[in-house]
Structure 1
Amino acid sequence: MENNKIAVGLDIGTTKIVAMIGRKNEYDKIEVVGIGKAKSLGVKRGVVSNITQTIQSIQQSVDEAESVSGLKIDEVVVGIAGQHIRSLHHSDYITRSHADEVIDDSDIEDLVNQVHKLVMLPGEEIIHVLPQEYKVDSQADIKEPIGMYGGRLEANFHVVVGQVSSIRNIGRCVKSAGLGLNEITLEPLASASAVLSQEEKEAGVALIDIGGGTTDLAIFKDGIIRHTAVIPFGGNVITDDIKEGCSIIEKQAELLKIKFGSAWPGENKETEIVSIPGLRGREPKEITLKNLSKIIHARVQEIIEHVYLEIKNYGHETAKGKLIAGIVLTGGGAQLKHLRQLVEYITGMDARIGYPNEHLAGDSDDALSSPSYATAVGLLMEGLEKKDKEVETIVEEKEVVEEEVFKPEEKTIEIEEEPVKAEEPKPKLKKKKSFLEKFTESLKDFLDNAE
C-alpha cells in the first residue's frame, strides 16, 4: 500500500528534464523522496525534435531519481507544452430524458464526451475539456450542478487543443524509456496548482511560466481556468541574443545571464565590466554590464508584451475580467533580476514571484522551492491526487462488495471468496474515469498499436 501512495512527475522541458518522486506526509504536504535532473537535448520550444536524445535524457533523470530514492519508477505524470497548444471556448448542452432524477456524474460525463466530438483542424486533438459555469434549465452561473433537478444541462467549456503528432511523440519517448504514462497534463495548469493559492484563483490572476523554450500563460478568475496560451519564446532566446550581441559562446552567455543579468538597464553603471576568457589563447573579452542588461531588457520586454497582449485579449480591463491578484511569475526565467519590476512597469499590474514551497514539507531541500521546479512539483501533485482518488474509489467499491458478501449463515465461505468478488466492480471504476484518463488510455492504445 505504501508504494501506492508514491507518484512521479516528469517535466520534459526545453532546457532540462526533471523526474520528481514524492508522497504525502501526515500533514498532507508533499515529501520529495527523490529527484533527478538531466540536460534536455532533444526538445525545442517545448516540442520533441529528437526522439533518441529525449529518451536518453528521460532515462538519465529517472535513473538519478531512482538511485536517490531507492525506489523503482513504473509510471509517470507528464507535462505537455509547446507552441502547437491553443485554447478555445465552446458551449454545449444535453437534454436529459429523466428530468425527474437528479443530475449526477454520468450526466456531466455525457456532456464532456459531447465536447470531445468537436471537429478539430486536421492533425489536432483535444487535450483537456475544462467545464466553467453550468446552466440548468434557465438557471445560469451554477458551479456544481450535481444533485440538482433539471431537463437541460448546459455548460461553457475551456477546451485545450494540441498537435496529435507532438502528443504522440512525448508518449513514444516515455514508453521507450520503459515507463508507463499515467496522465498527460498541460504544463501551465501543473505550474498553477504548485504556485497559486485558491484566493488568487478566485480574485483573478495571470500565471506566467517563463521556461527555456516557451512562456506559458494561464488566467484564472472565480476559481476557474479562463484562458491558456503558449508563447514560443523563453529564456533560451535571451541567451541567444547575448551570444550574438557580445560575440561569445553559448555556455558563457548563459553564465553571464544567470550571474550578472538584469532586466532593468538603469541599475548598472557604465564602469561595471565583466571580463570573459577568450577561446584558445585569444584575448579576453570585456563586456559592460549596462550593455548586457540592455540586450536582456529588449528581449524580455518583447516576451512580456506578447503575454500582456494575450491577457488583454482575455479582457482583463472589463469588470468581468478584472484580475485583482495581478500576475504571478514562475519558471526558471522568473529568477532574472528585476524582472518583477519590469513586468509591473509594462503591465501596470501587481506582480510576485511564485515559489512552489507552500505545498512542500517543511524539511524539503531549499533547491526544490526554486521557481524552475514549479512544473515538476505541480505534476507530482497531480499524480498524488490521482492516486488518492483511485484509493478512495477502491475502498468505496470494497465496502459495497463487503455489504453484499457478508450474510450471517455463510460467513466463512463468503470470506474465502471475498478477494475474487472485490475485483468484480471494475466496470464501475471504469464509469468514473475522467475524460483525461480516457485520453491517456487512447494514447496508450495508439502507442501499443504503433509497435
Structure 2
Amino acid sequence: MEQGNYSVGLDIGTTKIVAIIGKENEYGKIEVLGIGRSKSLGVHRGVVNNITQTIKSIQQAVEQAEANSGLKIGSVVVGIAGQHIRSLQHSDYITRAKSEEVINEDDVDKLCNQVYKLVMLPGEEIIHVLPQEFKIDGQGEIKQPMGMYGGRLEANFHVVVGQVSSIRNVGRCIKSAGLDLGNITLEPLASANAVLSQEEKEAGVALIDIGGGTTDLAIFKDGIIRHTAVIPFGGNVITEDIKEGCSIIEKQAELLKIKFGSAWPGENKDNEIVSIPGLRGREPKEITLKNLSKIIHARVVEIVEQVYVEIKNYGHEEQKKKLIAGIVLTGGGSQLKHLKQLVEYITGMDTRIGYPNEHLAGDSDEEIASPLYATAVGLLMNAVQNKPKIKEVPQDAVEKEGGQDSYGMEGSSQAQTALKKERKSIFDKWSEKLKDFLDNAE
C-alpha cells in the first residue's frame, strides 16, 4: 500500500499509549488497518515527566501497530491534554480596506492570526483558536462569513492555551521515536469527534472523557465548541485509593476496580467478599465489596463534582446555554459499573456512555469500538480529515480547480474547498511552528 493512503493517530495517555492506523473507505467511514498499545511509563496526569520512558512506550505501540497492519508509520497526529491546559473566551475584529469585495478565507485567516498574537502568561502558548460566531458590520450570529459583504469582521473565539514546555516535550518524544509530527490537537476535541453526533452538538452536550491521569471536558452548543477544561484526576486516583484503603499492591487494586468495582455503594450486600492472595506466602486478604464500592464512590463523586463546577461555569442553567442532550461519558474510566446512574444523580442531566463506533467501518474489531479508544479514534479521524486526498480526485477535476487539490470533494464549490483549506491552515500553523522549533533545537 502507498504511504499516502492511510493516516495515523497517536494517543499518549497516562496509563496507555495507542497508535492506530486507518483510512477512509468509500462510504466515508474509518477503516482501522492496525492498532498497537503499550503501557505508558513516562507520563503523569497527561504530562510527559520521563522522556526516555515515553519514547520507549511510543516505539512499542508503533511497532505493534506496524506489525498488525504490515504498514510503515511516518507522520502521526498527536493528542495533547494534561493539567496545564486551560481555555478562555476572546473577541476580536478586523476592519477590511475593500468592503465592496466579498469576505474570503484570507480575511478569516487574518482575524484568527490576530488572536494568536494575544499576550499569554510566561511559558504559555495558544494551541487552538476556535471561532464561535462571526459578526459583520454589527450583524450577529453568523456561522460562516465567507462570501458575504462587509467592512468590519468580528468574531468570538474559544482559545485553548497550554504550557509550551509540556507541548515541546511531546514533540521531542515523537521526533526521537523516529516519527514526524503531522498535527497536534486537543484530546477532548478528538474524543468529541469520535463519540458525539452532530445533533447532540447542536442541542447542547457535555462530553466527559475519564482517562487514567486526567478527566477532560468539552461542551458543545449550536454545533460549536463553547468550553473545554482538563481536571487533573482520573481512573488512577481511584486505583490509588483502593491500594491505600485495602493495603494491597497496585496491580491487584486495578483488577479489583475493573472486575468488582462499582460507583454505587448501595449495590453490594454486606456478605459479598473477595479474597486476594497474600504476597510471598502471606495470608490472603478478605475485602468486602461494600467497602470497595465506598472507596470508589467517594473519589468518583469528587471527580464528577469538579466536572459539574466547570459545566456550571459555562452557565448551563441559562435558557440559551441549556445542554438538551445532557452528558456523554467516554474514556477508560467510563466503564466503571453504575457510573452513568451516579452522574445522573449528581447532575440531574441525561447521561449516556459514548462509543466511537459510529464513524468506524462495519467490520471493525469490537475492541476498538470501546470507550477506551475514543481519543485514539478521534485523532485518527482528525488525521484522515486533514489529509489532502489527492489520489482520489480525478485528474480533470483537479485541472478544473486551477491545479489545486480539492480535498477529495469532487465537484465541491470553491467556498467549501476554501473552508477546508482555512480549517487546515489554522490547525497546522501551530504544528509547523513546533516542528521548526524542534528542528532548530537539534
State TM-score, norm by structure 2.
0.94
Structure 1 residues 160 and 391, CA gap change in structure 2 (3 angstroms):
farther
1:412 maps to none
Structure 1 residues 15 and 148, CA gap change in structure 2 (3 angstroms):
same
2:437 maps to 446
Residue 326 of structure 1, CA deviation:
0.1
2:195 maps to 195
Deviations 1:314-370 (A, max 9, x none): 000101110000000000000000000000000000000000011111111110011
Aligned partners of 1:157 and 1:390: how far apart in 2?
Answer: 32
Aligned partners of 2:245 and 2:64: how far apart in 1?
Answer: 37
Show the 5 A alignment for 1:397-436. 398-399=399-400, 434-436=425-427
2:311 maps to 311
Secondary structure at 1:262 match in 2: coil
Structure 1 residues 83 and 304, CA gap change in structure 2 (3 angstroms):
same
Q: Which amino acid aligns with 1:448?
A: D
Residue 207 of structure 1, CA deviation:
0.1
Residue 198 of structure 1, CA deviation:
0.2
Identity %: 78
Aligned residues of 2:34 and 2:69 also touching (Cα < 8 A) = yes
Aligned residues of 2:109 and 2:422 also touching (Cα < 8 A) = no
Aligned partners of 1:148 and 1:60: how far apart in 2?
Answer: 51
Structure 1 residues 442 and 109, CA gap change in structure 2 (3 angstroms):
same
Task: Kindly indicate whether residue 204 of structure 2 is the aligned counterpart of residue 204 of structure 1.
Answer: yes
Aligned residues of 1:7 and 1:76 also touching (Cα < 8 A) = yes
Aligned residues of 2:212 and 2:236 also touching (Cα < 8 A) = yes
1:5 maps to 5
1:437 maps to 428
Residue 302 of structure 1, CA deviation:
0.2
Aligned residues of 1:270 and 1:288 also touching (Cα < 8 A) = yes
Deviations 1:133-191 (A, max 9, x none): 00000211100010000000000000000000000000000000000000000000000
Secondary structure at 1:357 match in 2: coil
Secondary structure at 2:14 match in 1: coil
Aligned partners of 1:115 and 1:96: how far apart in 2?
Answer: 16
2:355 maps to 355
Structure 1 residues 93 and 283, CA gap change in structure 2 (3 angstroms):
same
Aligned partners of 2:67 and 2:422: how far apart in 1?
Answer: 38
Residue 400 of structure 1, CA deviation:
5.0
Aligned residues of 1:5 and 1:384 also touching (Cα < 8 A) = no
Aligned partners of 1:285 and 1:394: how far apart in 2?
Answer: 68
1:41 maps to 41
Secondary structure at 1:173 match in 2: helix
Structure 1 residues 156 and 356, CA gap change in structure 2 (3 angstroms):
same
Runs of 4+ that moved beyond 2 A: 388-403, 429-433
Secondary structure at 1:334 match in 2: helix
Deviations 1:273-298 (A, max 9, x none): 00000001100000000000000000
Structure 1 residues 151 and 254, CA gap change in structure 2 (3 angstroms):
same
Q: Which amino acid aligns with 1:437?
A: D
Residue 3 of structure 1, CA deviation:
3.4
Aligned partners of 1:79 and 1:264: how far apart in 2?
Answer: 32
Q: Which amino acid aligns with 2:439?
A: D
Task: Kindly indicate whether residue 234 of structure 2 is the aligned counterpart of residue 234 of structure 1.
Answer: yes
Structure 1 residues 224 and 393, CA gap change in structure 2 (3 angstroms):
farther
1:294 maps to 294
Q: Which amino acid aligns with 2:329?
A: L
Aligned partners of 1:231 and 1:310: how far apart in 2?
Answer: 9
With 21-30 and 63-72 compared, the bigger mean Cα shift is at 21-30
Secondary structure at 1:434 match in 2: helix
Aligned partners of 1:209 and 1:274: how far apart in 2?
Answer: 30
Secondary structure at 2:225 match in 1: strand
Structure 1 residue ranges without an equivalent (≥5): 404-428
Structure 1 residues 430 and 108, CA gap change in structure 2 (3 angstroms):
closer
Task: Kindly indicate whether residue 69 of structure 2 is the aligned counterpart of residue 78 of structure 1.
Answer: no
Show the 5 A alignment for 1:12-23. 12-23=12-23
Residue 394 of structure 1, CA deviation:
11
Structure 2 residue ranges without an equivalent (≥5): 405-419
Structure 1 residues 245 and 189, CA gap change in structure 2 (3 angstroms):
same
Task: Kindly indicate whether residue 143 of structure 2 is the aligned counterpart of residue 143 of structure 1.
Answer: yes
1:133 maps to 133
Q: Which amino acid aligns with 2:380?
A: L
Aligned partners of 1:101 and 1:5: how far apart in 2?
Answer: 39
Aligned partners of 2:196 and 2:27: how far apart in 1?
Answer: 19
Aligned residues of 1:5 and 1:388 also touching (Cα < 8 A) = no
Aligned partners of 1:90 and 1:40: how far apart in 2?
Answer: 36
Secondary structure at 1:120 match in 2: coil
Q: Which amino acid aligns with 1:256?
A: L
Aligned residues of 2:47 and 2:82 also touching (Cα < 8 A) = yes
1:417 maps to none
Aligned partners of 2:400 and 2:378: how far apart in 1?
Answer: 32
Q: Which amino acid aligns with 1:104?
A: N
- CA-based RMSD of the aligned residues comes to 1.8
Aligned partners of 1:210 and 1:108: how far apart in 2?
Answer: 34
Structure 1 residues 40 and 388, CA gap change in structure 2 (3 angstroms):
same
Aligned partners of 1:377 and 1:397: how far apart in 2?
Answer: 30
Aligned residues of 2:36 and 2:63 also touching (Cα < 8 A) = yes
2:172 maps to 172
Show the 5 A alignment for 1:53-68. 53-68=53-68
Q: Which structure would you say has the larger Rg?
A: 1
1:159 maps to 159
1:221 maps to 221
**How many residues are treated as equivalent by the alignment?**
426
Secondary structure at 1:387 match in 2: coil
Residue 398 of structure 1, CA deviation:
4.7
Secondary structure at 1:61 match in 2: helix
Secondary structure at 1:156 match in 2: strand
1:375 maps to 375
Task: Kindly indicate whether residue 325 of structure 2 is the aligned counterpart of residue 325 of structure 1.
Answer: yes
Residue 25 of structure 1, CA deviation:
1.2
Secondary structure at 2:358 match in 1: helix
Residue 5 of structure 1, CA deviation:
2.6
Aligned residues of 1:137 and 1:153 also touching (Cα < 8 A) = yes
Aligned residues of 1:5 and 1:387 also touching (Cα < 8 A) = no
